[in-house]
Amino acid sequence: MSLSRDNGTLRVEDCEVPALAKAFGTPLYVYSRAAIEAAWRAYDEAFADREHLICYAVKANGSLAILQLLARLGSGFDIVSGGELARVMQAGGDPGKVVFSGVGKTEAEIAQALDVGILAFNVESEAELERIAAIAVRKGLEAPVSLRVNPDVDARTHPYISTGLKENKFGIDIHRAEAIYRQAAAMPGIRVTGLDFHIGSQLTELGPLADALSRSLSLIDRLGEAGISLAHLDIGGGLGIRYEDEEPPTPADLAERLAPLLAGRSQRLLMEPGRALVGEAGLLLTRVEYLKPGHRDFAIVDAAMTDLLRPALYDAWQRIETAAPVDAEPRLYDIVGPVCESADTLGKARSLALAPGALLAIHGAGAYGFVMASQYNARPRPAEVLVDGDQAHLIREREPLEALWQGERLLETR
């Protein structure tokens, strides 16, 4: 267990959280190496009985040291931009294990991915397919292509993170996919290698994923009859984590549920988990600056929506606890940041015993935390620390003030 309490003091592996805050300052992202590796291995072991590749969704947390850890385990990566591809390579990831998703791949990004030899483009439209073909032909290469189908299933998650319904912008309507596969198979510059889907994020039930898989398998059968055989099948990411009292399925549950559907299928199985690998492995530490009693009791902390956007953007609930006991009566506090927006709330009506200077830990911050941070209100982005046993490695420095105007120019004219 990577998170524990010792006499009321929160620990990440063998490091006491208050000591981390003291050494590195707040707000601070803290990740557990053991938790990330255990989550990756749980996925890998769940699918051990079939040929598979875990392609970690870089968007969940793209810090180089985390990508490096996963690359060393043998992970592949799911990317959505040339920037993410560059990060993967910078961290020592293998481009031959990279799949490239996203609806808006630019010419430059496609060229970059072809040059390094990625595993597959997850193609999201006919126009994109044509663009990829043209660039590949120009380069004298063949682009490995998987069509991202939109299976039109309701992932039953938050509408902002649901992607597999036909009204969503993602993927190719599964009813049109067969015709597009036929075209793709005949296109110069294109090598059809797979099929993929991703129906949404923070899934807490497996039914929608199983439905999406069944629909995709029928399509694969029809393609087989047409002489188009696929080497891989990519089931996307999406397994949820426990923020509050959810009981999300584990990778083993997922593997078990899909096994009967996949029986006798030869395709290599790819998956794109993000949140499930890193979400619960991270905390955001923040200190109480002021208590402001009134109509509502506010605890004003030094972290903000700029550091952790999920509560403001999705009204997401993340557990907030004190990192060490505080000698005060518990009250219901709204935990708010210093940013000049009413949405700058990290938690509402939380029962906590607080005093100025108290240290808080926000859980579930390993995924979609730092990656969504901004410098709004000219706030430098926080530091990140990776805990490994009793060692704490600074994997990203707190941004210095100069980072706020890096690349900017003053006018040189009068």
Give the H or E element holding residue 232.
strand 232-234
Site membership for ligand LLP, residue 198 (CB under 6 A)? yes
Q: Closest distance between ligand LLP and the C-beta of residue 61, in Å?
A: 9
Q: Closest distance between ligand LLP and the C-beta of residue 146, in Å?
A: 11
Considering only 238, 251, 337, 347, the residue that binds ligand LLP (CB under 6 A) is 238
Site membership for ligand LLP, residue 77 (CB under 6 A)? no
Considering only 144, 249, 273, 347, the residue that binds ligand LLP (CB under 6 A) is 273
Give catalytic residues, as residue numbers: 340
Q: Closest distance between ligand LLP and the C-beta of residue 60, in Å?
A: 5
CA–CA separation, 60 vs 75, rounded Å?
A: 15
Q: Closest distance between ligand LLP and the C-beta of residue 107, in Å?
A: 21
Instruction: Say which DSSP state 150 is in.
Output: E
Helices (H), 97-250: 107-116, 126-139, 174-185, 207-225
Site membership for ligand LLP, residue 368 (CB under 6 A)? yes
CA–CA separation, 293 vs 321, rounded Å?
A: 19
Q: Which is nearer to ligand LLP, 59 or 97 (CB)?
A: 59
Is 368 a known ligand-binding residue? yes
Considering only 60, 98, 312, 383, the residue that binds ligand LLP (CB under 6 A) is 60
User: Is residue 204 within 8 Å of 249, Cβ to Cβ?
Assistant: yes
Q: Phi first, then psi: what are they for 15, rounded to 5°?
A: -110, 130
Three-state SS annotation for 371-410 = HHCCCCCCCCCCEEEEEECCEEEEEECCCCHHHHHCCCCC
Is 238 a known ligand-binding residue? yes
User: Is residue 284 within 8 Å of 306, Cβ to Cβ?
Assistant: no
Is 249 a known ligand-binding residue? no
- Sketch the per residue contact string, 296 through 325, with ligand LLP: x for CB under 6 A, - otherwise: --------------x---------------
Q: Closest distance between ligand LLP and the C-beta of residue 77, in Å?
A: 11
User: Is residue 146 within 8 Å of 190, Cβ to Cβ?
Assistant: no
Residue type present at position 26: T
Site membership for ligand LLP, residue 274 (CB under 6 A)? yes
DSSP 3-state assignment of 336? strand
CA–CA separation, 88 vs 67, rounded Å?
A: 6
Considering only 2, 81, 125, 201, the residue that binds ligand LLP (CB under 6 A) is 201
Site membership for ligand LLP, residue 237 (CB under 6 A)? yes
Site membership for ligand LLP, residue 61 (CB under 6 A)? no
Binding annotation for pyridoxal 5'-phosphate: 238, 272-275, 368
Q: Which residues bind ligand LLP (CB under 6 A)?
A: 57, 59-60, 78, 101, 161, 198, 201-202, 236-238, 272-276, 310, 367-368
